[in-house]
Structure 1
């Protein structure tokens, strides 16, 4: 177990929370969104040594043994030809093992993150790396998740995949389940990952009222995700998997 500071979202009474995201260097932020973090010290447990069961069905995240045939994750053509199908097969297997009936798994985005990169978003620029996200968040909320699903039937994602509009409408109108799941892996074939390990919070330890909607305003759309206040940080159960290797991957639910 370690003690470390995590950047929780600070509540500013009377102000909306979020930020503008634009590739235009001359863009002027109108200042109507507030994004202030509070560094808060918490305990983060080594999940490799955890006594409780930490699995995708119970905690929303799970470390898997998942060797890859990839030779270079910097070769985007190889990522598309080899890795996407590996991810699809892996998620199908995990979801079916958890009792879900899987009709489709699609890869619509991928990001390479490096501690040497500065920006948090690649904005779809091919070959660009992003820096680590060093603040507490979840990628989607109850509004933006179905909105993103609808967008994937209107405009292809980064991978070029376009969902059939009738399938999206069927899912959203019938109450069928859908999920956004991240697959996180170290891509160094020789060395385990030491810097910026991903910290994960067991959602069962979080009170619903501590989640906050966070707006992300792009030039062509407004997205949103969840941030977390530190009001009850002492009760949040945080975990990390130290020294992840290339033959392991961490899956975690975004929605």
Structure 2
């Protein structure tokens, strides 16, 4: 595969800029233990403890080399994915129709024998709290840790099946997409090439809810991180993000991603609307 971390492409109207220089929100260090307090949807915004700072990074437009990306190397891919869902704000339709579509997509892209779709979050950049949604996450993070990945299996599967599945390979994938009918103009997602992540870059962060405490990784700043994004995502595209892999054979096991303010967004950019669905994939 070509070196996707150092692309040299000429910008053109179809793919846009070759790269943008953007600010992303990292942990600068671990002088303050990171903790995130998440209120119930529609009641407020998360509160984050930690020594967070914005750092300027070069965000490469990955569209020209999207087909060279790998879930087992970079830990994210872009896939064409048509959907029959008419209204992603309709909870019943999302769960009945979209969950099935995502299950088939993850099976297709990973070769997993079983996929369990277990959670989703709708995000919007406009009046999120009062509408009962969440805002885009402007923080470099990964949704699961060495501890919370296996725990999710225990939480979701019957005890006997969980014990059997934990003895074989499993992974957690997020599937992210634009749910508006217009291309995304504001706060796209950026992704760190997993091959540029060092173990010290992943800091355990307690995720505190009203009824439980979980764990995620927050990203600690590393100038070696190689960032990528897909500008102007449309409704028939989906990004798969690997957030956990039990296999320890050298493949990517974790990733880092964040929404960011795109300096090329128009002044009157449409607010971002997106959905992310979380899945567990199992291999026999």
Q: Same fold (TM over 0.5)?
A: yes
The equivalent of 1:83 in structure 2 is 98
Q: For 1:168, which of 162, 166, 186 is the aligned residue?
A: 162
The equivalent of 1:3 in structure 2 is 21
Which stretches in structure 1 are left out of the alignment for 5+ residues? 97-101, 153-162
The equivalent of 2:169 in structure 1 is 177
**How does the TM-score come out when normalised to structure 1?**
0.80
Task: Please state whether the residue corresponding to 1:132 is helix, strand or coil.
Answer: coil
Q: For 1:223, which of 197, 201, 214 is the aligned residue?
A: 214
Per-residue deviation, 1:210: 2.0
**Aligned-residue RMSD, C-alpha:** 2.5
Residues 43-82 of structure 1: per-residue CA shift (max 9 Å, x gap): 0000012488212232111111111111111122211221
Distance 1:71 1:23, change over 3 A: closer
Residues 68-101 of structure 1: per-residue CA shift (max 9 Å, x gap): 11111112221122111111111111111xxxxx
Question: Superposed, which structure 2 residues align to 1:50-199 within 5 Å?
Answer: 50=65, 53-96=68-111, 102-118=112-128, 128-152=132-156, 163-172=157-166, 174=167, 176-189=168-181, 191-199=182-190
Distance 1:59 1:24, change over 3 A: closer
Structure number with the higher helix fraction is: 1
Task: Please state whether the residue corresponding to 1:180 is helix, strand or coil.
Answer: strand
The equivalent of 2:256 in structure 1 is none
In structure 2, how many angstroms separate the alpha carbons of the residues matched to 1:217 and 1:78?
29
**How does the TM-score come out when normalised to structure 2?**
0.73
In structure 2, how many angstroms separate the alpha carbons of the residues matched to 1:52 and 1:23?
38
Task: Please state whether the residue corresponding to 1:59 is helix, strand or coil.
Answer: coil
2:232 counterpart of 1:243: yes
Would you say how many aligned residue pairs link Structure 1 and Structure 2? 224
